[in-house]
């Protein structure tokens, strides 16, 4: 059963039908899905959700498409891990990691793609397309394969090898574009009007795609026993995920699933080499100034973020902050999370952890807060980032003597007692 009543312009509030529309004809504002919150409040219960599948689809009534058999590889329902060892290193109290590295294609993008393609199929599309910084391409190719749809994904030509291989393996079309993500995105915007029969998940069906990110908030609240955290740290590329995480917590209260009105401080994480939203925050500016990306955090390398302004507003409204961290801090962040919690994240996860560390040191994220950090992609996607910084402790001949002479090992190993 579908609770969607239509679409609405985020700027001028003009109403539209729930079709493949994404911008307002009158003011060019982005469109947003509207739900019947009254009916949801009356009909949706925690018990009903608890009885649902162990995927994002347990929240189907709060998603923009109803389908008894969604296009589903099992996205979502990822672990929320208490991170005491990391918290101790950062001087924090109650810290949790939302481990979205374990999604089917290794990133949070499976949440948004599962929703977008299910809606696209319902609207009659047969071709799935996207402009991607890498992870979106992985996920679209995988979900399209699952659904028997044709996929055509567009990526910048200089992506990490793993991201290209793990996209191409699904047998769709991978088009490497000589340019940055922003060039890829502009091309796809032109293509989308040229080929209205293709579903570009983050262009003409973006309105639906974006809603998938709300499940990052829904799951955290449910995993905390239907409570909201005090502070979340979210990576920012286009700004869609951050905006929708903020919306997700508010929506749960709106439909009566959270008793108390949540006051979640939302902080955003960007890489110094591509930090248009963090820059605007730190400069106290209103407009987002586009940048040309130069960072190892390629999955976040969007120089002209579509939802940047909305993300900035969401951060300011919530009393959160944004930070921009260096490539060295990103690598340190990846290693710190791996060393303390046994979770291997890609560069975007390094950005989140480095930002968490920075904001904790500044006293913005506080020890008296219940904090959740969103770690959104798997480390095997970006092993290049660690080249030369981790490796064997020693390389030895296969003899006891050789091992014994690698004595510096001994001190760190400890002994059974
Ligand atoms: C795409 C992506 C993000 C951010 O997504 P936006 O919604 O565009 O801000 C975060 N982490 C990873 C790993 C991603 O691939
Ligand atoms: Zn409008």
What is the CB < 6 Å shell around ligand 1?
107-109, 135, 235-241, 299-300, 346, 348, 376-377
Residue 331's nearest CA partner among 353, 306, 310, 315 is: 353
> Residue 343: which pLDDT band, with cuts at 50, 70 and 90?
very high
Ligand nearest to the CA of 22: 2
Average pLDDT of span 69-75? 97
Segment 203-212 mean pLDDT: 96
State how far Cα 329 lies from the chain centre.
Answer: 20
24: confidence class by pLDDT, cuts 50, 70, 90: very high
Going from the Cα of 134 to the center of ligand 1, the distance in angstroms, rounded, reads: 10
At 295-335, the pLDDT tens digits run 999 999 999 999 999 999 999 999 999 999 999 999 999 99
Burial of residue 26, with CB atoms counted within 10 A of its CB: 0-12 exposed, 13-18 middle, 19 or more buried: exposed
Above 70 in pLDDT, residue 416? no
Atom 11, ligand 1: which residue's CA is nearest? 376
Phi, psi of 93 (to 5 degrees): -100, -100
Q: Reply yes or no on whether the pLDDT at 184 is more than 60.
A: yes
| Sign of the alpha-carbon torsion through 56, 59, 61, 67 | positive
Q: pLDDT above 90 covers what percent of the chain? A: 90
Residue 417 has pLDDT above 60, yes or no: no
Q: Reply yes or no on whether the pLDDT at 113 is more than 70.
A: yes
* 58: pLDDT strictly greater than 60: yes
* pLDDT interval class at 410 (50, 70, 90): low
Distance, in Å, from the CA atom of 329 to the CA atom of 52, rounded to the nearest integer, reads 40
For residue 24, give the ligand nearest its CA. Answer: 2
205-376-262-325 Cα dihedral, nearest 10 degrees = -110
In the sheet with 80-82, reading across from the earlier edge strand, the strands are 80-82, 94-99, 370-375, 231-235, 265-271, 322-325
Spell out the domain ranges in the chain: 80-106+210-386
pLDDT tens string 260-293? 999 999 999 999 999 999 999 999 998 999 999 9
pLDDT at 404: 87
State in Å: Cα 30 to ligand 2 middle: 7
CA triple 295-299-301, angle to 5 deg: 45
What pLDDT does 1 receive?
Answer: 56
Q: Of 241, 243, 374, which is best to mutate to test ligand 1, by the most ligand atoms within 8 angstroms of its C-beta?
A: 241
Residue 69: predicted pLDDT: 95
Cα 142 → chain centroid: 17
Structure tokens, 366: 């506080």
d(CA 164, CA 187): 19
* DSSP E strand boundaries for 250-334: 265-271, 322-325
pLDDT by residue (tens digit) across 95-108? Answer: 999 999 999 999 99
Protein residue whose Cα sits closest to atom 14 of ligand 1:
299
**Residue 219: pLDDT over 90:** yes
Atom of ligand 1 nearest to the CA of 134: 15
| pLDDT-derived band at 393, boundaries 50, 70, 90 | confident
Across 187-191, 343-347, 350-354, least confident range:
187-191
| Alpha carbon nearest to ligand 1 atom 10, residue | 235
pLDDT of residue 59: 98
Does the domain spanning 80-106+210-386 belong to CATH 3.30.930.10?
Answer: no
Contact 233, 374 (CB under 8 A): yes
- Please count the other Cβ atoms lying within 10 Å of the Cβ belonging to residue 91: 13
The confidence score (pLDDT) of residue 409 equals 59
| Cα separation, 278 vs 261, whole angstroms | 27
């Amino acid at each position: 059963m579908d609770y969607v009543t239509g679409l609405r312009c985020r700027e001028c509030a003009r109403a539209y039908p729930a079709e493949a529309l994404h911008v307002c004809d009158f003011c060019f504002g982005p469109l947003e899905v509207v739900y019947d919150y009254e009916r949801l409040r009356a009909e949706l219960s925690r018990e009903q959700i608890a009885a649902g599948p162990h995927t994002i689809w347990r929240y189907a009534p709060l998603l923009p498409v109803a389908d008894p058999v969604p296009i589903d590889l099992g996205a979502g329902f990822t672990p929320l891990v208490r991170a005491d060892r990391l918290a101790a290193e950062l001087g924090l109290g109650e810290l949790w990691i939302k481990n979205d590295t374990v999604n089917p294609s290794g990133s949070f993008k499976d949440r948004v793609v599962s929703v977008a393609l299910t809606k696209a199929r319902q609207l009659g599309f047969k071709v799935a397309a996207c402009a991607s910084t890498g992870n979106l391409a992985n996920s679209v190719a995988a979900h399209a394969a699952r659904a028997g749809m044709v996929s055509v994904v567009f990526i910048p030509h200089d992506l990490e090898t793993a991201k290209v291989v793990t996209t191409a393996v699904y047998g769709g079309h991978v088009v490497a574009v000589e340019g940055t993500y922003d060039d890829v995105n502009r091309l796809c915007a032109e293509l989308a009007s040229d080929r209205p029969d293709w579903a570009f998940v983050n262009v003409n069906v973006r309105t639906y795609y974006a809603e998938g990110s709300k499940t990052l908030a829904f799951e955290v609240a449910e995993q905390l026993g239907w409570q909201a955290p005090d502070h979340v740290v979210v990576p920012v590329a286009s700004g869609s995920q951050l905006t929708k995480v903020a919306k997700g917590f508010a929506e749960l209260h709106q439909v009566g699933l959270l008793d108390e009105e949540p006051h979640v401080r939302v902080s955003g994480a960007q890489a110094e080499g591509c930090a248009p939203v963090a820059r605007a925050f730190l400069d106290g500016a209103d407009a987002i100034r586009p940048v040309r990306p130069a960072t190892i955090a390629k999955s976040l390398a969007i120089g002209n973020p579509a939802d940047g302004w909305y993300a900035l507003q969401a951060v300011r409204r919530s009393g959160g902050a944004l930070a921009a961290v260096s490539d060295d801090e990103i690598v340190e962040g990846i290693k710190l999370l791996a060393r303390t919690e046994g979770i291997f994240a890609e560069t975007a996860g390094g950005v989140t952890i480095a930002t968490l560390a920075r904001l904790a040191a500044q006293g913005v994220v506080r020890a008296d807060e219940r904090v959740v950090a969103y770690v959104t992609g798997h480390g095997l996607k970006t092993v290049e980032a660690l080249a030369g910084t981790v490796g064997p402790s020693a390389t030895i001949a296969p003899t006891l003597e050789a091992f014994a002479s690698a004595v510096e090992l001994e001190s760190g190993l400890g002994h059974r007692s």
